[in-house]
Each structure stands twice: as C-alpha cells, then as structure tokens.
Amino acid sequence: MTEQTDSAFDLVVVGGCGHVGLPLAIAFADRGKRVGIYDVNESAVKLVESGELPFVENGATEVLQRAQAAGRLTVTTDPSIISGADAVVVVIGTPVDEHLNPDPRAVTSAIAEIKEHFRDGQLLVLRSTVFPGVTAGVERLLEKAGLAVDVAFCPERIAEGKAMEELFTLPQIVSGRSPQVKQRAGELFGTLTESIVELEPEEAELAKLFTNTWRYIKFAAANQFYVMANDHGLDFDKIRRALAHDYPRAADMPGAGFAAGPCLFKDTMQLAAFTDNSFVLGHAAMLVNEGLPLYLVTHLEKSHDLSTMTVGILGMAFKGESDDIRSSLSYKLRRILEFRAGEVLCTDPYVTVDSSLLPLEEVLQRSDLLILAAPHRAYADLETSKPVADVWNFLGQGSVV
C-alpha cells in the first residue's frame, strides 16, 4: 500500500444518492467525516443538494440537513471527486437479468469506467451485494491497471426505513485480502459502530447472500403455511400468534405477506446460480413467494366474479412505510388482475413515480373489492364496507381470503 497523501475527503460514496449510498454517506458525515457523493442521477443530486431525499427514509432528512449545515457533505455528478478521497465506497451491486442469471461483470465494468480517477493508497470498499468472486475480480482489475488500491468488501446490512438506526447499532462485517486492509475497513466503519466482525472476502460475499436468502426462505415458509390454512378456511395469523405465544422456538415465524423488493429475490437467485442451479430450497422459496399474488387472485375467484368487479389495490410499494416499488409484487398482482378483473384501481400514500395511481378515497369509493398489498400505517384505521383481502391480517380482521 502506498503512503496516503492529504485528501479533500475522508470518503466518497459512488452511487451515493440511492437507498444504500445516501444513508451511509450522511451517517458518516454526521459522525464528523468529510464526505463526497458522486452519482450520475442529476435530479437526485439536485434534490440532495437542496436538503431533500429522493426517497423515503425515516429520520434521514434531518441528518442530511445537519451534515450540510456543518459543511461536511459535497454532492456532484463529476467523477473526478473520487481522486480526492482517502476511501471510496462503491454501492453498485450485482443485478440479475430477465432469465434470473446474475451479471458478475456489472460491478467490474462500472469500476472500469471510473478507474482513471482512483489513485494509489486509497481504500476501495464494495458495499452492495455482489456475486461470489466479484471482489477478487475488482482486485485483478485494479492490479492490471497498475493501481495500488486496497479492496475491501463490507456488505450493507440495513433495512430500508431503518438506516438511521441500524447503521449505528448493527455489527459491521468487514473483509479484505490482508490484515492491513481489514484494519483500514474496520477503522472506517468503526466510526459508525463499535462492533466489527472480520471475514475473508469470499466468506463475506456468501454471508450477505446467506442473510438475504435466509429471510426469503423464512417468508416462503410462512406463505406456504398461509396457503395451507387458507385453503381450509382457517386463519393462519391466528394460528401463528397462538403457537408463538410465550414460546421462543417459534418466535421468529413471520406473518404471511408479499416478500418482495430489490434484494431478497435477487440474492436468492444469485445464490442459486452460484450452486449451478442446484439450490432446490431457494427455487422452492421463489415459487412460493412469487406465486402468492396469483394464488390470491385464483382463490378470490372461487367466491367472487372478478370479471364483473372493480378491484382496488392498496399499497404499491414493495413493503409498508416505503415508496420503493422495485420488484414490488403489487405490480405483479395488478398485471394478473388486469387480465382477470373488470377494472383495477391502485393507490399508495408514498409512491410518486407512478402517475396511474389514484387517491385512496377514489379507490375506496369505486372499488367492489379491495386487496391490501402493502401494510402502510395509513391503512390501519381503514373504514369501508367493501370486502378486503388482507393476507397480512394488518387490519386485525383475520387473514382468511
């Protein structure tokens, strides 16, 4: 590692206006770090510059504005900012394509485009979920470019909506090829949390995939149990609450509901690809979770003539109290209903990127049947005489559909 020189920034976050990068950037700035944000999304950069977030994240606006007032945050679309940092945190992850195959080259290709802005002595931290072996690929890329840069993989572990809490409370996994790299990464993230866990890069890559896949499998088990109970006219959530009552071995059984979003499904498919598509449990979980919208519609057709009805979907985000529609199963539900129902109306109190959404009052008035797709708190006191399909049992009226 080359000796570091004086830098304008303690760290620069590449892709720093997104759901992962922005909370991390402002958390570091709030802890006294000089932080730069580089992002190609001009509209998001302008929003952040104005003190606003491009998405919903509890408590983050105040932290952002505090960091800006202290002069510790710079936001730009100019990649040259990277050269002025001691550490560069990259939040570009590994996507899966329409065939459910991961593209391990996505991260290395993105870094190759900006590698001219790196300099010797920097610490490069890969933050988003990557396919196993990507960290090693980035190391080879930089070495081939003649750059003496330390590469660490330190996976993001927060849940959307809880970043401003979990970034400061959860243990942070850091990994690197040498004790020195682990130490540098540990010192960086030690700014946020006292609990640092060290792994080798390949171990950390699998740890991240295992974490998200484990959650996805647990949700699939609950959804399969829901289907079993519902097919016999029984309330799964009532059963779940009874079996978990003061019984610790069942306390972690989740409720039923749409298991979606930009991480769990994608990372389960990455793990399946890593095992040469022999991950039977992962594929089974995918079939259960991705099949729940179709199951609900098919089951509703047994008691309702959907072809003559207007169906309202409440909540288009992938989970409650979020505006994120990435991989949301609410949109899969809408596509199914557009084929099987007379008309479909959708609403969400947070989502602003879908111009087809209607106000809640209009959906309630015009619909013959409602489906609660995302358990937003705005629906907690819902008053309607219309039938509501509520797999979550969010309204407390039972989960039988």
Question: 228-267: per-residue pLDDT in tens?
Answer: 999 999 999 999 999 999 999 999 999 999 999 999 999 9
Please report, to the nearest 10 degrees, the dihedral formed by the alpha carbons of residues 239, 241, 243, 244 taken in order. Answer: 160
- 383 close to 318: Cβ distance less than 8 angstroms: no
CA distances to 25, 120, 182 from 4, rounded to whole Å, are: 21, 8, 17
Angle at 265 between CA 261 and CA 266, to 5 degrees: 95
Per DSSP, the residues of 290-310 read HHHHHHHHHHHTTTS-GGG-E
* Closest by Cα among 205, 189, 191 to 155: 205
How many other CB atoms are there within 10 angstroms of residue 220's CB atom? Answer: 25
Residue 29 structure tokens: 């700035």
The confidence score (pLDDT) of residue 92 equals 86
Alpha-carbon span 218 to 209, nearest angstrom:
14
Alpha-carbon span 356 to 320, nearest angstrom:
20
What domains lie within the chain, and their CATH numbers?
9-202 (3.40.50.720), 212-389 (3.40.50.720)
Alpha helices by DSSP H, 59-200: 60-69, 105-114, 134-144, 163-169, 179-189
In sign, the C-alpha dihedral spanning 354, 359, 360, 365 is: negative
The confidence score (pLDDT) of residue 190 equals 97
**pTM (global) more than 0.75:** yes
Residue 24 structure tokens: 């991390």
Angle at 320 between CA 246 and CA 245, to 5 degrees: 5
**pLDDT < 70: residue spans in the chain:** 1-6
pLDDT digits (tens, 9 = 90+) for 161-183: 999 999 999 999 999 999 999 99
Q: What percent of the chain has pLDDT over 70?
A: 99
